[in-house]
């Protein structure tokens, strides 16, 4: 039975890269099912995502690609299989519930290891899907103490990504540094506009004609990490900020689901403070 893999290449740009990488596939009689590449001319960076099938050894294929790639290239040969995720939430159910429904219906190519929350509100919802709900109260303790408890829990779990499904606490730089490019957040605004709390009130006071949602990787800079996916919803002068908030919730869960699908299928490359999405 033929193997199948996603070949993910991130390296300095150079002449002949597509030829050299394609020749490796050709020499091994691999079929290239899909192939996309992009050159960031400003940074002189090359990105390529190929899906190949055939008879091959993953380690040997990766080593062969490394041998013709520029130095310090980031090469991955990934066999398609569900990735493991941990969800973090607070009180709002729309994003968490949407992810759980997509998971149980087979739309989400992931295994959900647990839901971690600083509030107990979503316990019953989570348990309906037979997923562990880990409640770590943030009451009466410092942010540092709370994050230490969360980190202790995370150290006992095996996962590829942390998904902040409306987790309404700002994570410290120390916390984020443990999981670079591994934490995905949904922000209820079309970034970079209206960062921080209450973006719908900010949007309403500015009389905007569109509202939006942004899914991004989390960095130490609040709401400024590399953007994965965005979308907008038209509004008008009749919308109060709560009307915007209700409309925005639909956008939030759709954008987060789209971003998760892209990340879980290895379609996202981080390029500085941007992303390349194939």
Active site residues: 223
Phi first, then psi, for residue 36 (nearest 5°) are: -135, 140
Residue found under tokens 């989400």:
108
Distance from C-alpha of 21 to C-alpha of 165, rounded to nearest angstrom: 38
Phi first, then psi, for residue 251 (nearest 5°) are: -65, -40
């Amino acid at each position: 039975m033929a193997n199948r893999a996603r070949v993910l290449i991130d390296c300095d740009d150079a002449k002949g890269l597509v030829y050299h990488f394609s020749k490796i596939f050709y020499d091994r009689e691999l079929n290239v099912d899909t192939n996309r590449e992009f050159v960031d001319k400003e940074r002189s960076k090359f990105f390529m995502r190929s899906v190949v099938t055939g008879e091959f050894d993953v380690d040997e294929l990766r080593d062969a690609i490394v041998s013709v790639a520029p130095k310090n290239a980031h090469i991955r040969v990934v066999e398609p299989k569900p990735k493991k995720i941990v969800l973090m939430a607070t009180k709002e159910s729309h994003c968490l519930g949407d992810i759980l429904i997509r998971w149980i219906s087979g739309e989400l190519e992931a295994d959900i290891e647990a839901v971690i929350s600083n509030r107990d509100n979503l316990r019953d919802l989570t348990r309906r899907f037979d997923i562990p709900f880990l409640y770590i109260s943030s009451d009466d303790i410092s942010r540092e103490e709370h994050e230490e408890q969360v980190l202790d829990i995370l150290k006992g779990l095996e996962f590829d990504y942390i998904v902040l499904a409306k987790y309404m606490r700002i994570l410290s730089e120390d916390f984020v540094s443990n999981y670079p490019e591994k934490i995905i957040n949904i922000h209820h605004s079309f970034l970079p506009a209206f960062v921080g709390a209450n973006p719908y009130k900010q949007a309403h006071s500015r009389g905007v004609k569109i509202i939006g949602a942004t899914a991004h990787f989390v960095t130490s800079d609040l709401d400024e990490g590399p953007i994965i996916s965005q979308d907008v919803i038209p509004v008008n002068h009749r919308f109060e900020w709560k009307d915007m908030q209700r409309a925005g919730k639909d956008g939030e869960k759709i954008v987060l689901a789209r971003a998760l699908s892209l990340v879980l299928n290895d379609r996202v490359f981080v390029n500085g403070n941007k992303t390349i999405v194939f």
